């Protein structure tokens, strides 16, 4: 058996594929030959992402407008992607609301339940809809983008921590339940990754403090003790998802790969 990273002939669905990490994952899988469907709520965003993805290879790209909060819309979207190429191999869950920043004890209850519903339950909705259709011959994968907040204490992101910890738990359980069907379920927990959402946040903080966005970024690297001394690039997180999607990971299931530049390592 030849093990490789190529995904020719496989079909992937990436929720949240219109921007940030989801887009980086979509580009990485597509560049290795997968037909890629990206799902999100904003048609224009998906269409411009599709142009970017298509520029990196010859495989087809599909955009699907749907809200992961809506059960029927998710079921229809997954069926549509399966019907598109007659198969569904890889599902990557990356759709999530913007990070809520506050002390957990002060977080609005609606913000907590909305975040849990949109991300944790959203991931579960997509996985449940996909499991009956996903390939059972060794190529079937579900990959959940969790977050390092699940594993380390980062001040003021307790809501994300609870949501991502739940994603880690649901990844383990789904992995155990899907194992008899030969479907592998894993997660990637990214550390601080420089997506547009964070660039915008840095610009706003920089303006308020009269410093540069680079100074905001570098200050966070120092405060959080990121060992590699910098933020991740989205493609560095996408590389971990690509590995889990490929034949290089045929004996890996129920795992959460922490791709965090050493953020999770304590100092003694
Ligand atoms: N960037 C980081 O440093 C970092 C670190 C750890 C974990 N993460 C995780 O990585 C994932 C992606 O984050 P990101 O930084 O790439 O953020 P992002 O650019 O905002 O990506 C999120 C995507 O999800 C879509 N989305 C949001 N709610 C949705 C819904 N209800 N239904 C369908 N699509 C929805 C958004 O598009 P629409 O609004 O158009 O639907 C957007 O394209 C998230 O799960 C996040 O928690 C990120």
3-state helix, strand, coil in the chain (%, to 5): 50, 15, 35
For residue 257, pLDDT over 80 is answered with yes
Domain assignments of the chain as residue spans, ordered by start: 11-192+233-257, 194-231
Residues 86-93 have a mean pLDDT of: 98
> Looking up tokens 């050493």, which residue turns up?
262
Closest ligand 1 atom to Cα of 67 = 32
Residue 69 CA, closest ligand 1 atom number? 31
How high is the mean pLDDT of the chain? 96
Span 15-46, pLDDT tens digits? 999 999 999 999 999 999 999 999 999 999 99
What are 148-151's contacts with CB under 8 Å, separation 24+?
148/189, 148/190, 148/191, 148/192, 148/258, 148/260, 148/263, 148/264, 150/189, 150/256, 151/189, 151/256, 151/258, 151/264
> Region 80-93: what's the mean pLDDT?
98
Render pLDDT for 194-233 as a digit per residue (tens, 0 to 9). 999 999 999 999 999 999 999 999 999 999 999 999 999 9
Average pLDDT over residues 63-80: 98
Measured from the CA of 122, which atom of ligand 1 is nearest?
Answer: 31
C-alpha 92 to ligand 1 mean position (Å) = 12
Which amino acids bring their CB within 6 angstroms of ligand 1?
Answer: 15-16, 18-22, 40-42, 45, 67-69, 94-97, 118-119, 145, 147, 190, 192-193, 195, 197-198
Residue 267 CA to ligand 1 center (angstroms) comes to 31
Q: What is the pLDDT of residues 96-106, one digit of tens each?
A: 998 888 999 99
Distance 94 CA to ligand 1 centre (A): 6
- Atom 42 of ligand 1 has which residue's CA nearest to it? 16
Q: Using 50, 70 and 90 to split pLDDT, how confident is the model at 80?
A: very high
Q: Say how many residues make up the chain.
A: 268
The ligand 1 atom at the shortest distance from the C-alpha of residue 118 is 31
Q: How far is the CA of 178 from the centre of ligand 1 (A)?
A: 25
| Ligand 1 midpoint to CA 105 (Å) | 24
User: CA-CA distances (angstroms) from residue 65 to 41, 42, 103?
Assistant: 5, 7, 33
For the cut 90, the answer to whether the pLDDT of residue 1 exceeds it is no
- The best mutation among 40, 154, 168 to test binding of ligand 1, ranked by most ligand atoms within 8 Å of the C-beta, falls on 40
- Cα–Cα dist 212/241, whole Å: 32
Share of the chain above pLDDT 70, in %: 98
pLDDT of residue 264: 77
Atom of ligand 1 nearest to the CA of 160: 47
Q: Whose CA is nearest to atom 34 of ligand 1?
A: 40
Q: What is the mean pLDDT of residues 169-189?
A: 98
Residue 73 has pLDDT above 90, yes or no: yes
**From the candidate CATH numbers 3.10.450.750, 3.40.50.720, 3.20.20.60, 3.30.420.40, the one assigned to the domain spanning 11-192+233-257:** 3.40.50.720
Going by alpha carbons, the residue nearest to atom 39 of ligand 1 is: 41
Give the pLDDT score at 265. 76
């Amino acid at each position: 058996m030849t093990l490789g990273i190529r995904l020719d002939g496989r079909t992937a669905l990436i929720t949240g594929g219109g921007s940030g990490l989801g887009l980086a994952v979509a580009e990485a899988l597509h560049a290795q030959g997968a037909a890629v469907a990206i799902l999100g709520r904003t048609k224009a965003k998906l269409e411009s992402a599709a142009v970017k993805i298509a520029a990196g290879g010859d495989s087809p790209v599909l955009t699907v407008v749907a809200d992961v909060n809506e059960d029927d819309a998710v079921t229809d979207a997954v069926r549509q992607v399966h019907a598109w190429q007659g198969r569904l191999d890889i599902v990557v869950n990356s759709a999530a609301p913007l990070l809520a920043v506050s002390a957990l004890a002060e977080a609005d209850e609606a913000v907590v339940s909305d975040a849990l519903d949109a991300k944790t339950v959203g991931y579960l909705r997509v996985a449940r809809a996909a499991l009956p259709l996903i390939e059972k011959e060794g190529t079937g994968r579900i990959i959940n983008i969790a977050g390092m907040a699940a594993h380390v204490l980062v001040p003021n992101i307790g809501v994300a921590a609870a949501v991502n910890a739940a994603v880690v738990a649901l990844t383990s359980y789904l992995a155990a339940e899907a194992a008899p069907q030969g479907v592998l379920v894993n997660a990637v927990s990214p550390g601080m990754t420089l997506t547009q959402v964070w660039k915008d946040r840095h610009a706003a903080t920089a303006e308020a403090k009269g410093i540069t966005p680079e100074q905001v970024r570098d200050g966070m690297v120092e405060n959080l003790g990121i060992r590699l001394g910098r933020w991740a690039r989205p493609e560095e997180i996408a590389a971990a998802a690509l590995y889990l999607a490929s034949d290089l990971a045929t004996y890996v299931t129920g795992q959460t790969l922490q791709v965090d530049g050493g953020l999770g390592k304590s100092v003694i």
